[in-house]
Every structure is written in C-alpha cells, then in structure tokens.
Amino acid sequence: MTAFEKPKPSLKDIEKLSKLEKIIMDYFMKYISVGEIIALVELREILKNLDSSEINIEKDDVIIEITISKTLANLVEKGFLEHEEGCYNLASHLREELKKKGGMTP
C-alpha cells in the first residue's frame, strides 16, 4: 500500500456503516455481482417494503433511486463495492474474505 492508498475495509467494517449502507451491503453479500439497473430496481423495492421507522427515506421511487445511486457511489469510494461496465460487485478483497469464512462458493 502506498502513502496515498486508503486501507481496504473488512467484513467487520460493514458494522460501522449507516443503516442504508448495511442494507445495500447485505444485498451484495448475498448476490455478489449485479447489473446496475437490476441492483437499482431490486434495492428500490427492498427499501419501499421496509417499515418507515427502519430507515428514514421518502417512499417516492425517484427519491429512493437517487438515494440508492449516491449510496452505491459512496460504497465504491469507501472500497466496499466495485463498479465496472454497468455492474456493481462486492469488492474483490471482501469476496476473498467471505470465501475464507465459508460464506461463498468459489
């Protein structure tokens, strides 16, 4: 790691994330790699079906999708997710950590 690189987050670091970020990370822990549009649609439906006390988000589809998009970008920036050619993936170092824990088939 160079002086300019941030340390990569671990699976334990997910516990420190916001409620919305945790929901999104749970989704990617389950599906690992998802196309942008499918992820947005499925995450929107997950959030719309949550009790409003669980997460403070407007139930308007456009607002939810904007919020999800911003959160996905933040998770990429923080090193939890990767974004390549129309697809979001659980970060490779987290996939390796998950494999070692036996939570993912190769």
Q: Could you tell me the mean pLDDT of each successive run of 10 residues in the chain, 106 residues long?
A: 74 95 96 96 93 75 93 97 96 93 64
pLDDT value at position 105?
Answer: 53
| pTM (predicted TM-score) | 0.87
Nearest Cα to 24, choosing from 84, 90, 102, 105?
A: 90
- How many C-beta neighbours within 10 Å does residue 104 have? 16
Q: 81 has which bridge partners? A: 90
Mind listing the domains of the chain with CATH numbers? 16-100 (1.10.10.10)
